[in-house]
Amino acid sequence: MLLVTPGREQAIENIRRAAQEGRFNDKTEPFDPVISPDALKADILGYVSRLDSPVQKLKTAVARAVVDTWVRKWSEPVNEITGMRNLFTVQGPAFITSNHFNPFDNGVHRTLSRLTGRDRLVAISQGTNFVMPGLNGFILRNIDVIPLIQEPSYMNGAFRKLMQRNLDRNRFILIYPEQEMWFNYRKPRPGKRGAFLFAAEYGVPVVPTFVEMVDLPEVVAPGFHDVKLVLHVLPPIFPDPGRSARENSFLMCQADYDAKVRCYEQCYGRPLSYEFSKEDIAGLI
């Protein structure tokens, strides 16, 4: 079950135009928060400084309980996971990559993490999620996340420390190479190589996943069917110790994208083309 938020017609039109112009990592949501870089950095650094405080730990526990309850009650009955055997070769921490199509599409990945016995899944989250209002904003800034902002001193400092902290705890870190969410967009998009550079530098594998979306008969909002998610866990990609981190980042990024394209074509029975059609948006009536 997926949430359908306001502004879908505009979001879908923005997706159509971006896909047509080859802008696969652009924002397409019409109501994303707007905040100055300095104010955003201050908010993020404040969050990082409070991570180990009792108040923040309580907020994280509440956010995790809300999401786990929602996943178990509404998502798990209509979600499936295939290819878990591909995780058997991953003994330690790893980066998990996925296509990104809904603010809470990582619910199925949280189920995957729980089934593999990991204590929790940590997700890399765009910094602007931290200033979203309401319950959605509360969850997005408190549910085991590492905020991402394009600020060099933060990325080379606090961000890397948070990643190392979670890798040391043997956790999966979920990251979206596509960067921006495209609402219910079925197709895999070319990703940025930052996730793969991190993996190469830390010497940990990347586990590609692809979420297939299957329309269900039920109508959950005007103009939209409900959607079933099928999480496909693909073979892990390991950095080559004989290559530099930079070389590995390009090779791993391409291998990740290629794996997702193959999975897309197998799931939907058609070759990948970025020519836009109504079928690109899952659930659209």
Would you give per-residue pLDDT tens digits along the chain (285 residues)? 556 677 899 999 999 999 999 999 999 998 877 788 888 888 899 888 988 899 988 998 898 888 878 777 766 666 899 999 998 889 899 999 999 998 878 888 988 888 888 768 899 988 887 777 777 788 888 888 899 988 889 998 999 999 999 999 999 999 999 999 999 999 999 999 988 999 999 999 999 999 999 999 999 888 899 999 999 999 999 999 999 999 999 999 999 999 999 999 999 999 999 999 999 999 999
pTM of the complete model: 0.91
CA-based torsion, 68, 101, 137, 168: positive or negative: positive
Classified by CATH at the fold level, domain 8-280 comes out as Glycerol-3-phosphate (1)-acyltransferase (3.40.1130)
Residue with tokens 């496909």: 232
Assign residue 223 a region: left if phi > 0, alpha if psi is -120 to 50, beta otherwise? left
All residues at 6 or more sequence positions from 201 whose CB lies less than 8 Å from its CB, including other chains: 245
Whole-angstrom distance, CA of residue 164 vs CA of residue 161: 5
Q: Which residues of 193-230 are buried (b: 16+ CB within 10 A; e: fewer)?
A: bbbbbbbbbbebbbbbbbbbbbbeeeeeeeebbbbbbb
* Residue 258 · residue 265 · CB < 8 Å: no
| Angle made by CA atoms 51, 62, 120, in degrees to the nearest 5 | 65
